[in-house]
Amino acid sequence: MSNENYDFYCEEAISGKTKIVKVFESKNVLAFHHTKPSYKTHIVITSKKHIADLPSLKDEDLNILNEMLKVARDISKTLNKTDGIRLITNMGKFQDTPHLHFHLVVGEKIK
Asked whether the whole model's pTM tops 0.85, one would answer yes
**CB neighbour burial string for 54-70, b if at least 16 within 10 angstroms, e if fewer:** eeeeeeeeeebbebbee
Alpha-carbon span 2 to 32, nearest angstrom: 23
Is 6's pLDDT higher than 90?
no
The answer to whether residue 46 is domain-embedded is yes
The answer to whether residue 81 is domain-embedded is yes
The answer to whether residue 3 is domain-embedded is no
Tell which wins on pLDDT, 94 or 31.
31
CATH code of 51's domain: 3.30.428.10
What is the tally of structural domains in the chain?
Answer: 1
Please give the pLDDT value at position 65. Answer: 98
Please give the pLDDT value at position 2. Answer: 45
- What are 46-60's pLDDT values in tens digits? 999 999 999 999 999
Burial of 76 (0-12, 13-18, 19+ CB in 10 A): middle
* Maximum average pLDDT range among 62-71, 75-84, 93-102: 62-71
